[in-house]
Structure 1
Amino acid sequence: MSQAKTVQITFDCEDPRAVAKFWQVALGYQDPPVPEGFGSWDEFNAALPSEQQGSAWAAEDPDGVGPRMYFQRVPEEKTTKNRVHLDIRTGTGLTGDERLAALDAEARRLEALGARRLQLLKADGINESCQVMQDIEGNEFCLD
């Protein structure tokens, strides 16, 4: 029996390129290499049939450590809370005011990219503080 070796995270979205660019900046990711025979992703996209243009985008960790992210256009809008979400590990090892300051600094950086803060979950004696956010299309994620 074989086991999965790698994971790709797929986002359903309205504007794959815009959502991919948000996550690239948020995580320090980049576009994958341009397919052979094309000078740029824009050139590749222009070569697709019109109904497929702009329908997908990807982001990769330049160090090859994090999972590849794939963004695909879907016709329906997001309507409910995510069942799975990403955590951006911002305050690892930090507690109290130091952790809150780190979460706030990262939240401000991501708000400048179009993210929105939802709820700050303060430390409760079991879990440390966590900032719930939304990306530019409303997908929830946490700064923890």
Structure 2
Amino acid sequence: MAVAIDLTLYCENARLVAEFWKTALGYVDEVPAAGHATGEESFALPAGGAEDDGACLRDPEGAGPRLSIFRVPERKTAENRLHIDVRVPGDGTAADRWERIRAEAARLVRAGGTILEAFDDHILMADPEDNEFRVTASPA
């Protein structure tokens, strides 16, 4: 049996980063777990923290991993050790796939992302707090 995973991002502005990733992934705010008043409680936000100290997101279809976003006092100082791949449909010709990759990257720039570099098969981007991710196509 496969196990489920959750991903966690640390940042300075949890609400800004959460809004970006909701737009990027089509995620929604986490529904509170039974016995918890908020979704953040079910993800164990630090005690005494403010509401803006974190956000918990989920795939509305239930297929993707949950995403926890927590505020930390320090800024990012090094390259990510793990990154997210945002995948567009991989069907059609290579030119069709590349056009979808470029269109998705443009949409994410409008949402607050930054293009860092384009490669032959993906575009390297950063979210509003410089967490790197790739826009690429799903395997055809």
TM-score range, shorter chain: 0.7 to 0.9
Choose from 16, 19, 41 the match for 2:17. 19
Give runs of aligned pairs for residues 48-63 of structure 1, distance below 5 A. Answer: 52-53=49-50, 54-63=52-61
Secondary structure, counterpart of 1:19 in structure 2: helix
List structure 1 segments (4+ residues) > 6 angstroms apart after TM superposition: none
Structure 1 gaps of 5+ residues are: 123-128
Instruction: Give RMSD over aligned pairs.
Output: 2.5
TM score, norm. by length of structure 2: 0.81
TM score, norm. by length of structure 1: 0.79
Q: 1: CA distance between counterparts of 2:64 and 2:135?
A: 17
Identity within the alignment, %: 37
Structure 2 gaps of 5+ residues are: none
Partner of 1:82: 80
- Listed one character per residue, the Cα deviations across residues 48-86 of structure 1 (whole Å, up to 9, x for unaligned) are 999510211111011111000000111110111111100
Paired residues, what number?
130
More strand, by proportion: 2
| 2:134 maps to amino acid | C
The higher radius of gyration belongs to: 1
Partner of 2:127: 135
| 2:23 maps to amino acid | V
Structure 1 residues 49 and 142, CA gap change in structure 2 (3 angstroms): closer
